[in-house]
Amino acid sequence: MNILITGCNGQLGNEMQLLEKENPQHTYFNTDVAELDITDQKAIETFVATNEIDGIVNCAAYTAVDKAEDNKELCTTLNTVAPAYLAAAIEKRGGWIIQISTDYVFNGTKHTPYVETDTPCPDSVYGSTKLAGELGVQKFCQKTMIIRTAWLYSTFGNNFVKTMIRLGKEKPELGVIFDQVGTPTYARDLAVAIFAAINKGIVPGIYHYSNEGIISWYDFTKAIHRIAGITTCHVRPLHTEEYPTPANRPHYSVLDKTKIKQTYGIEVPYWEESLAECIVKLKN
């Protein structure tokens, strides 16, 4: 297959590129804004037709959750409009699209893991634009697979793990929120799951993917410091209201992975094992 990867310079896009070497049966077109502007419908149609694209993995998104509150127009363009353009273009070729979405389509008031059939109820501009993106992609392409993920980190780009390691080395004390719980996702594990779906054959629908387990941001930070060997920084637990942010965040955003595991035969790693793997790579 000829596969278009958008957002190739992001965390997931970079991990996808590394795994392409292990899946040489396909031809990949790795693009970011310099190679393909996904807000330009004509450019997308031309690219998809000219390169005879069979499938798209859309890793591109506006992910600055707090900035999104003041940049609704740009956030909507990247998270809602652009995915619909991609879906419409690949539908003309009878192809498939994998759209990466988020736990932020839920407001986090549940107390049991979110399943794919739960009614979305976003509580932020970011979450609302990502939900609208899901609906648009499904509307314009029959073979649509949506993967909602959460708390993404990797060795690439800016993310929570790298920030906590840096701050842990720089500061004697840190305050981190303890009353928001979810599950971290190592972007490499998500990329492995995406390739499993591609190689088995896309089964359209909505899926949830994060690593296994449940943890708070506070406990996640403690684990990051322990594994990274940081002993000089005291981490204090904070209530959400002690650390106000422009965007509301879900207090509980654990995702149930049963559907993706059963459909594609995927084994999902435990969050701490994947975190340790990532930190070893960061050290190297």
DSSP 8-state code for residue 71: -
Contact by Cβ (8 Å): 183, 215: yes
Catalytic residue among 85, 104, 114, 126: 126
Taking CA atoms, 86 is separated from 12, 96, 129, 237, in Å, by 18, 10, 16, 42
CA pseudo-torsion sign 233, 238, 242, 243:
positive
Active site residue 62: no
Instruction: Work out whether strand 152-153 and strand 96-102 pair parallel, antiparallel, or are unpaired.
Output: unpaired
Contact by Cβ (8 Å): 28, 3: yes
How far is CA 108 from its chain centroid? 17
CA pseudo-torsion sign 123, 203, 271, 26:
negative
- Catalytically active residues, by annotation: 126
